[in-house]
Amino acid sequence: MKVFSIALNTFRENLRDKLLYNLLVFALLMIGSSALLMRLTLGEFHRLILDIGLGSINFFGILIAIFVGIGLVSKEIEKKTIYTIVSKPVPRYQFLLGKYAGLTLTLLVNTLVMVIGLLVVLSLQDVPIHLVLFKALAMIFLEFMIVTAVALLFSTFTSTTLSAIFTLAIFVIGHLTADLKAFGQKLDTLGRGALEAIYYLLPNLERFNLKGHVTHQIDVPAYDLFLIAAYGMAYTALLLMFASVIFQRRDFG
Amino acid sequence: MADQVTSIVQINQLCKVFRIGFWGRRVTAVDELSLDVRKGEVFGFLGPNGAGKTTTLKILMGLIYPSGGSAMLLGRPVGDQSAKARVGFLPESPYFYDYLTGREFLKFYGHLFGLWGVALEKRVDELLEAVGMVHARDLQLRKFSKGMLQRVGIAQALINDPELVVLDEPMSGLDPVGRKEVRDLILRLKESGKTVLFSSHILHDAELLCDRVAMILKGRLVASGHVAELIDPGTTHSVEMVIDHLSPEGLEHLHPLAEKIVAQGHRLLAVLRHPREVDAALDIIRTAKATLISLTPHRSSLEELFIRLVKEQQPAGEPKP
């Protein structure tokens, strides 16, 4: 119940933050603009709309996950609001889970608004909607959850600025890990070992990218989807556990 | 064992060493501090800024971990959730969720104690009433003045009807009216049987309120006990008199008795050397047919004791803290 009320309070904080609305408006404009761009393109209209639409949802969701996520805990510490929470009978890990759940809820609502925007554009332009679109959207949301957990982890022990830099770095590298592994195959054992360590340690975010499947209308088997989802959940759980351990040991001086 | 039961806060040889900067330089904030707060008393925790008061209170609230020694709240080690459920805490110059309204704010903290529904609504209304904030119940905290924040902060500390209320600098930044209100509130808490521990560097407030006080300097306990015991009644009394229309002869007679005389128009302020000169001074005033406006005996105060202690601790040449 305490996790729930902290989550609700975080959600309320996000709702009363203007940054979020700005991002949302931009996202909807981007999605809507794909309909205009279509008039400038020859052929492959459908691919273009789906590409821009999914790309916008992904990009703006990640922006929210990073820039709201890094402030989740560090802002509470900087503003000293955490003093009033930790002094109450609330275990620290519950506070962390509550903050995480709150932002996840915010992201869910935001994603839903953006998805509705996309669906409106798609139906106005008579683009056929396949099931794989929703599978891809679900995986995009899982990626948001991982990136939020990364941001939360960093914000438990560094400043807001450093958290932003680290989280962005992990996001970028997370999309390149497969390339890193391939590159490692061409190196000696030491270099290969180092790159493989990075490959296994950092989240492989490219696994959650099913945009190609959507634009080419290739379905994703349920088993593959299950594996990706299990990977995402397990990775998020590990990040949250790690964040809780660090947070438990911290002094709020 | 009886002592164990009545001790609400028990601090034993508590130490806190912070590591600061890149090289992890060690700074001792609290140094082998021992004290206890008993049931039903108002306990003042006094010291200059940076003496370690806030650090000690933060250790009690489980915000930071001690480097050594022990601290118990309501008979349980600090950080224990069941003890926290019976304690209320107001941090120093509190920062709150400014996007919440007064009611939302108090309800949120109520939830953290497992309070919901009608019982919580009632409690929130009672508290807003008690701290005089009913008018601001639907106003966002970002529009609150400092005094209003302090009041709603105190309400937040009382939401769970705690046995022990810990207030960190509850009077700082408040105007005289606000300070008086906080003082009255602390006395009301005492009347209702609660134990209050508060830190302050404003000694006058502590003197008016506290049953017992502890003074710390650089993390070390330098004095503790009942206020009346700490203020030595035998020393440095002086008496201040305000007199109107005293004739020049009267003034001449008054001079040898007074330490200081300040004249402002027809009004005169005289500080007598010793209380036993009062009778003689009154005789002079009567003979000169002047008017006595006021007569104020000056007791030695906690403040004087405190300044003496700070000076004793300070080797010559070191700047004041």
Place of tokens 């709309």: A49
Q: Are A136 and A50 in contact (CB under 8 A)?
A: no
Q: Are A49 and A38 in contact (CB under 8 A)?
A: yes
Number of domains in chain A: 1
Q: Indicate whether B276 and B217 sit together in one domain.
A: no
Q: Indicate whether B220 and B270 sit together in one domain.
A: no
The minimal CB distance from A5 to the residues B55, B97, B112 is found for B112
Q: Indicate whether B187 and B209 sit together in one domain.
A: yes
pLDDT value at residue B177: 85
pLDDT tens track for A74-126: 888 888 889 999 999 999 999 999 999 999 999 999 999 999 999 999 998 88
Q: Write the single-letter amino acid at B78.
A: V
The minimal CB distance from A252 to the residues B64, B89, B116 is found for B64
Place B261 in a pLDDT band, splitting at 50, 70 and 90.
Answer: confident
Tokens of A114: 């953006």
pLDDT tens track for B94-127: 778 888 999 999 999 999 998 889 999 999 999 9
Is the residue at B305 inside a domain?
no
Q: Indicate whether B194 and B222 sit together in one domain.
A: yes
Look up the CATH number of the domain holding residue B279. 3.30.70.3400
Task: Indicate yes or no: CB of B63 within 8 angstroms of CB of A251.
Answer: yes
Is the residue at B320 inside a domain?
no
Determine the structural domain holding residue B257 and report its residue range.
238-298
The minimal CB distance from B64 to the residues A6, A16, A251 is found for A251
Tokens of B211: 């049953």
Cα-flanking dihedrals φ and ψ of residue B93, to 5°?
A: 25, 75
Residue in chain A lying closest to B64 (CA): A251
Is the residue at B314 inside a domain?
no
Q: Indicate whether B183 and B63 sit together in one domain.
A: yes
| Final residue of a structural domain among B212, B230, B248 | B230
pLDDT tens track for A176-219: 988 888 888 888 888 888 888 888 899 999 999 998 888 888 88
Q: Indicate whether B42 and B147 sit together in one domain.
A: yes
Place B93 in a pLDDT band, splitting at 50, 70 and 90.
Answer: confident
Provide CB contacts within 8 A for A202, sequence distance 6+: A170, A173, A174, A177
Q: Determine the distance from the C-alpha atom of residue A212 to the mean position of all C-alpha atoms in its chain, rounded to a whole number.
A: 19
Is the residue at B75 inside a domain?
yes
Q: Indicate whether B214 and B253 sit together in one domain.
A: no
Number of domains in chain B: 2
Mind giving me the DSSP string for B45-64?
EE--TTSSHHHHHHHHTTSS
pLDDT value at residue B320: 45
How many residues are given for chain B?
Answer: 321
* Chain A residues within 8 A of B20 when measuring between CB atoms: none
Percentages of chain B per state (helix, strand, coil), in multiples of 5: 40, 30, 30
Tokens of A61: 């969701």
Q: Indicate whether B217 and B263 sit together in one domain.
A: no
**Predicted structure pTM score:** 0.84
Is the residue at B268 inside a domain?
yes
Whole-number Å distance between alpha carbons of B150 and B162: 18
Does B156 contact chain A (CB < 8 Å)? yes
* Chain A residues within 8 A of B199 when measuring between CB atoms: none
Q: Are B110 and B120 in contact (CB under 8 A)?
A: yes
Burial of B192 (0-12, 13-18, 19+ CB in 10 A): exposed
Q: Indicate whether B121 and B143 sit together in one domain.
A: yes
The minimal CB distance from A88 to the residues B64, B94, B112 is found for B112
pLDDT tens track for B184-224: 989 999 999 999 999 988 778 888 889 999 999 888 998 88
Q: What is the mean pLDDT of chain A?
A: 90
Does B62 contact chain A (CB < 8 Å)? yes
Cα-flanking dihedrals φ and ψ of residue B291, to 5°?
A: -110, 130
| pLDDT above 80 (res B233) | no
Q: Are B197 and B41 in contact (CB under 8 A)?
A: no
Half-sphere exposure of B42 (CA within 13 A, CB side): 20
Q: Are A190 and A183 in contact (CB under 8 A)?
A: no
Place B239 in a pLDDT band, splitting at 50, 70 and 90.
Answer: confident
Identify any residues that bridge with B77 across adjacent strands, giving them in sequence order.
B72
Look up the CATH number of the domain holding residue B221. 3.40.50.300
| pLDDT above 70 (res B227) | yes
Task: Indicate yes or no: CB of B64 within 8 angstroms of CB of A5.
Answer: no
Q: Indicate whether B177 and B246 sit together in one domain.
A: no
Residue of A173, A148, A137, A142 whose CA lies nearest to A57: A137
The minimal CB distance from B18 to the residues A84, A90, A253 is found for A253
Residue in chain B lying closest to A13 (CA): B99
Q: Indicate whether B177 and B255 sit together in one domain.
A: no
Q: How far does the CA of residue A104 sit from the closest CA of chain B (Å)? A: 19
A9-13, B146-150, B230-234: range with lowest mean pLDDT: B230-234
pLDDT tens track for A23-67: 889 888 988 888 777 777 767 778 888 888 999 999 999 999 998
Is the residue at B267 inside a domain?
yes
Does A252 contact chain B (CB < 8 Å)? yes
Q: Are B157 and B112 in contact (CB under 8 A)?
A: no
Q: How far does the CA of residue B88 sit from the closest CA of chain A (Å)? A: 8
pLDDT value at residue B41: 92
N- to C-terminal Cα distance for chain A? 28
Q: Indicate whether B269 and B219 sit together in one domain.
A: no
A109-123, B142-156, B213-227, B233-247: range with lowest mean pLDDT: B233-247
pLDDT tens track for B3-60: 444 789 999 999 999 988 888 889 899 999 999 999 999 999 998 888 889 999 999 9
Is the residue at B38 inside a domain?
yes
Whole-number Å distance between alpha carbons of B304 and A220: 80
N- to C-terminal Cα distance for chain B? 40
Q: Write the single-letter amino acid at B83.
A: A
